Amino acid sequence: MYDKSQLRRGTLEGCILKIIKLEETYGYEIMNKLSSYGFEELSEGTIYPLLIRLEKKKLICSNYKVSPLGPKRKYFSITQLGINMLNSFQEHWDSISTAVNKILSLGEK
């Protein structure tokens, strides 16, 4: 069976950057948005390590804000370095997805 974990991890980083670029948000909300777009098998054990890695790379930054439903939440926003990385990801994704779709459609009519 195909091991999708490596492909998914790299793809998720780009998708997380895009979600955070659209609005400052927190981990659980990011996970729900990704799930609503088709990443259905996600868990906190997948998302939070990615957020930590993105923050260590200085692609995102965080701050705590009061939550109306309980303890403070850690909100993430994108940095300029993160925007640059997202632009690069989108450029490469467009190129790779076009090539892969062409190959996978070979022999189909």
Determine the pLDDT at residue 97.
93
How far is 9 from 6, CA to CA, in rounded Å? 5
Within a domain: 109? no
Q: Output the pLDDT for position 23.
A: 97
For residue 42, the model assigns a pLDDT of: 84
Question: Where are the alpha helices (H) located in 37-79, listed in sequence order?
Answer: 44-56
Q: How many independent structural domains does the chain possess? A: 1
pLDDT < 50 positions in the chain: none
In a domain, 38, yes or no: yes
Q: Residue 55 is part of a domain; what is its CATH number?
A: 1.10.10.10
What pLDDT shows up at residue 9? Answer: 78
Is residue 92 situated within a structural domain?
A: yes
Please tell me the predicted confidence (pLDDT) of residue 73: 94
- Residue range of the domain that includes 58: 5-104
Which residue bears the tokens 């190959």?
Answer: 103
